[in-house]
Amino acid sequence: MKKSKFLFCAVAVASASMFFSSCSKDDDAPAFDMSVKMVPISMVGGYVTDYGMGETGFKDAKYDANGRILEYSSISRYSSGKSVYSYTADKITISTGGTFSVKDGKISASNANLSEKKFSYDGNHIVSDGYYTYTWSGDNLVSMKERDYDLTTKFEYYDQPNRCGCLHNNMYSIDFINVDSFLALSGFYGNMPSNLLKKITCTEEGETSWHEFQYELNEYGYPTKITVTDDEGDVQIYDLTWQKL
């Protein structure tokens, strides 16, 4: 298996998505003011060791009164620019080329990143995008299986609530293609996992790799810093800013 280095950001992707100070243990978790809704304005970071990837993330995000993304500017060594979103009752369009069909408040199909997908749901939980099947336990996504390859991804969680969707790594898309993190944050892919992501484990053709997450949270439970450590000992750090909705 060729082991890849993943950049965990919303626009690389993504997802999302998706948290408390010293998350290395769940005991005595602090209480947060859950009545406050916030939206992410920026997320910037990368590998502590320079692999030539540079910083990645987004900045200058703007939202409407309902918390739907209107625009953001991406940050990347390879490509940067502004993405602008427009909404109708049954369609979402992104200026950079993505088009999403909406049915009953959820994305039913997409044409983005040179890839067409159709999405299926069980209630408010996504179960298929045509390439991956998704397995849930209660309100948490526990595994994804790729349709055409021997690739399974499993997820573990802290006890703390998930307040930022799949922002931290685009939860639903390890290859950073299938899901738009900002739209996921607004509920367009159904419910996000209810708990804070702790670990991602990928098994491909019998070989395993993993990433573990630690967070620093503000008083409302939103992450201001995300630290990601992988099975090779490499570390990524991302800083986030939030704004009350």
Provide the pLDDT confidence category of residue 174 given band limits of 50, 70 and 90: very low
Q: Which residue has the higher pLDDT, 141 or 22?
A: 141
String of DSSP letters for 183-226: HHHTTBTBPPPSEEEEEEEEEETTEEEEEEEEEEE-TTS-EEEE
- How many structural domains comprise the chain? 1
**Average pLDDT of span 226-231:** 91
In this structure, is residue 130 part of a structural domain?
yes
- H helices within the chain, ranges in order? 181-185
Provide the pLDDT confidence category of residue 149 given band limits of 50, 70 and 90: confident
How buried is 40 (Cβ within 10 angstroms: 0-12 exposed, 13-18 middle, 19+ buried)? buried
In this structure, is residue 98 part of a structural domain?
no
Least confident of 11-25, 35-49, 167-181: 11-25
| The two structure tokens encoding residue 64 | 């409407």
Helices (H) and strands (E) in the chain, counts: 1, 17
In this structure, is residue 225 part of a structural domain?
yes
Provide the pLDDT confidence category of residue 2 given band limits of 50, 70 and 90: very low
Tokens 């055409």, located at residue: 148
Provide the pLDDT confidence category of residue 31 given band limits of 50, 70 and 90: confident
Least confident of 4-8, 27-31, 50-54, 218-222: 4-8
In this structure, is residue 161 part of a structural domain?
yes
3-class DSSP assignment, residue 84 = strand
pLDDT at 16 over 70: no
The predicted pLDDT at position 159 comes to 93
**Average pLDDT of span 112-119:** 83
Q: How many CB atoms lie within 10 A of CB 11?
A: 27
In this structure, is residue 87 part of a structural domain?
no
Q: Which long-range contacts (CB under 8 A, 24 or more apart) does 222-228 make?
A: 222/19, 222/38, 222/40, 222/163, 222/164, 223/19, 223/163, 223/164, 223/168, 226/8, 226/19, 226/45, 226/168, 228/8, 228/169
In this structure, is residue 200 part of a structural domain?
yes
- Separation of alpha carbons 98 and 96, rounded Å: 6
Contact partners, residue 172, CB within 8 Å, separation at least 6: 14, 15, 16, 17, 126, 129, 132, 134, 141, 144, 166, 178, 179, 184, 189
Provide the pLDDT confidence category of residue 59 given band limits of 50, 70 and 90: very high
CB 183 within 8 A of CB 189: yes
The predicted pLDDT at position 65 comes to 94
DSSP letter, residue 17: -
pLDDT at 218 over 60: yes
Q: Which residue has the higher pLDDT, 95 or 2?
A: 95
**Euclidean distance between the first and final Cα of the chain, in Å?**
43
pLDDT, the chain, mean: 82
Provide the pLDDT confidence category of residue 10 given band limits of 50, 70 and 90: very low
Provide the pLDDT confidence category of residue 229 given band limits of 50, 70 and 90: very high
In this structure, is residue 187 part of a structural domain?
yes
Q: pLDDT tens, 180-217? A: 888 988 999 999 899 999 999 999 999 999 999 999 99
Domain that includes residue 51, residue range: 38-62+121-244
pLDDT at 9 over 70: no
Provide the pLDDT confidence category of residue 55 given band limits of 50, 70 and 90: confident
In this structure, is residue 196 part of a structural domain?
yes
Q: pLDDT tens, 67-83? A: 999 999 988 877 778 99
